Amino acid sequence: MNLLITGVTIADPNSQFNQKKCDVRVEQGIITAIGTNLKAAKDEQVFDGSGSVLSPGFFDLNCSIGDPGFETKEDIQTATAAAKAGGFTGIAVLPNTKPVVHSKAEVEYIINRAKGNLVEVLPIGAVSRDMEGKELAELYDMQQAGAVAFSDGGKSITDDGFMSRALQYAKGFNGLLMVYPENRSIAGKSQVNESKTSVLLGMKGLPALAEEMHISRDIFLATYHDAPVHISNISTYGSVALIKKAKKDGIKISCDVAAHHLVFTEELLNDFDSNYKVKPPLRAKSDVRALLAGLKDGTIDAVGSQHRPHEIEHKDVEFEIAAYGIIALQTVLPLLIKAGLDAVQIAEKLAINPRALLGLEVPVIQEGRVANFTVYNPSEEWVYDSKNNFSKSSNSPLLNKKLTGKVQLVYNNKQLQSYG
């Protein structure tokens, strides 16, 4: 499909047209012209990009889809539909499925199921068999089959020796371990942030210490093996400080943060709304400020959705027994806009850096390059509701809320999807 986008502002620090208002022409999946006053051809679809931003297509580092085995939560079709609506042209999916993605068979299943989609679906293999943290999974075979990284999902790797061996082995073939930071012996069965709020709620608090001790361990191991470690979903002031120092010391540490941890705080739990129950838990305002500062100074490399779909029977229950997580693919952009990120920062943290961390080709808004982009209006208001929620699940505290920042179209793999 041939497409002409007129008067759109480009947000791509890798492009000579960054922050310039331009017309962009796409022919047969290639950006063939960028300029001003481009004339529309007869066979072109024209989109008025006035007031809109064109960014490299977003890429999510941290997404659960449930397929295979938990398709009642989300399958590849619904996940990619939600991803497109959120501006994502690629998602890396976690291995917490049934069976767990711990061999090349499961990796190949996901790749084949998602083939030909506008949204690229790239599997993350498990670090350990069945994500039990005891026996190494088939890391090298999975990478050869198409796995882009390795993670035990939302389960932390508690055995220090096992983590050390996994790092040493993955280093041999440039594999990246993406780890969830939680010292389980300290975290226990805590469900909310340890603070005055947890006392008022009468619930056992999860201290920031549990996250920060785990990150400290992984920094030591990354130093010892001179191997890269990616920390997923950091949430505390202390975590930012630890990673900032490690990077300054030249240690191969990277990290991401979930979009909701940049906006939501623990005070939202006062009504015991289980849709705000996430892991790591919502933290204090001081933590949010530190996370935002860490994003802007480069300490935090990327933003992820931490998309966690659940059936209603797992969320519409008492807070203490509710499952962790929210659906988030369609709300990342509005949350980043609400958090105060500008268009270039959004492009860096949501499109460029996530791909760079995984060693993937980064789309560039440049003539002659493959077209892979997202167009959104940062000031358009819309209501997120059951009619435009493309996920199979509905566990989001933002449903039926007015949001600012609307995806208008996405383009990838010679496919165009537009949204009103």
Number of domains in the chain: 2
Domain that residue 36 falls in:
3-54+366-379+402-418
In a domain, 390, yes or no: no
Q: Which amino acid is at 87?
A: G
Clarify whether residues 294 and 408 are in a common domain: no
Q: pLDDT tens, position by position, for the chain (420 residues)? A: 799 999 999 999 999 999 999 999 999 999 999 999 999 998 899 999 999 999 999 999 999 999 999 999 999 999 999 999 999 999 999 999 999 999 999 999 999 999 999 999 999 999 999 999 999 999 999 999 999 999 999 999 999 999 999 999 999 999 999 999 999 999 998 999 999 989 988 998 999 999 999 999 999 999 999 999 999 999 999 999 999 999 999 999 999 999 999 999 999 999 999 999 999 999 999 999 999 999 999 999 999 999 999 999 999 999 999 999 999 999 999 999 999 999 999 999 999 999 999 999 999 999 999 999 999 999 999 999 999 999 999 999 999 999 999 999 999 999 999 997
Clarify whether residues 312 and 165 are in a common domain: yes
Q: pTM of the prediction?
A: 0.97
Clarify whether residues 229 and 371 are in a common domain: no
For residue 47, give the CATH number of its domain: 2.30.40.10
Clarify whether residues 111 and 30 are in a common domain: no
In a domain, 395, yes or no: no
